[in-house]
């Protein structure tokens, strides 16, 4: 498995808008081939998406979805998003 981490830096006081946009991508990511799991969260100055994929190819294929999210977030972004992909060491989900 592979984990993809994308960080979108946000302008101040835009968390509510970012949360609304994140809701849209919850289902989009879930329906993509190879999707295993998604966690999205907000802190004071960024929106983070951490997704797990069955193969590195599927993790890399999400770039177009990231670009669409960047477009949707364009009015509230404080800078360009950063993305990293790494081999998953532990993925434990309670049943």
User: What residue segments make up the domains of the chain, in order of their start?
Assistant: 2-87
- Return the pLDDT at 73: 87
Mean pLDDT within 50-66:
91
- Return the pLDDT at 13: 93
Is 9 in contact with 77 (CB distance < 8 Å)?
A: yes
pTM of the model: 0.86
The rounded Cα 90 to chain-centroid distance in angstroms is: 19
Mean pLDDT within 42-49:
92
CATH number of the domain at 2-87, out of 3.30.70.100, 3.40.980.10, 1.10.510.10, 3.40.50.880?
3.30.70.100
Dihedral sign computed on CA atoms, order 19, 30, 50, 64:
negative
Strand partners, 3: 52, 86
- Return the pLDDT at 85: 96
pLDDT at residue 2 greater than cutoff 80: yes
Helices (H), the chain: 15-30, 56-60, 63-73
């Amino acid at each position: 498995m592979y984990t993809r981490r994308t960080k979108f830096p946000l302008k101040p006081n835009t968390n509510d808008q970012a949360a609304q946009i994140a809701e849209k991508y919850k289902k989009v990511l879930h329906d993509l081939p190879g999707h295993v799991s998604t966690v999205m969260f907000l802190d004071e100055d960024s929106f983070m998406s951490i997704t797990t994929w069955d193969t590195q190819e599927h993790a890399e294929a999400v770039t177009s979805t990231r670009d669409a999210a960047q477009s949707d977030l364009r009015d509230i972004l404080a800078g360009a998003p950063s993305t990293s992909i790494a081999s998953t060491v532990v993925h434990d989900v309670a049943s």
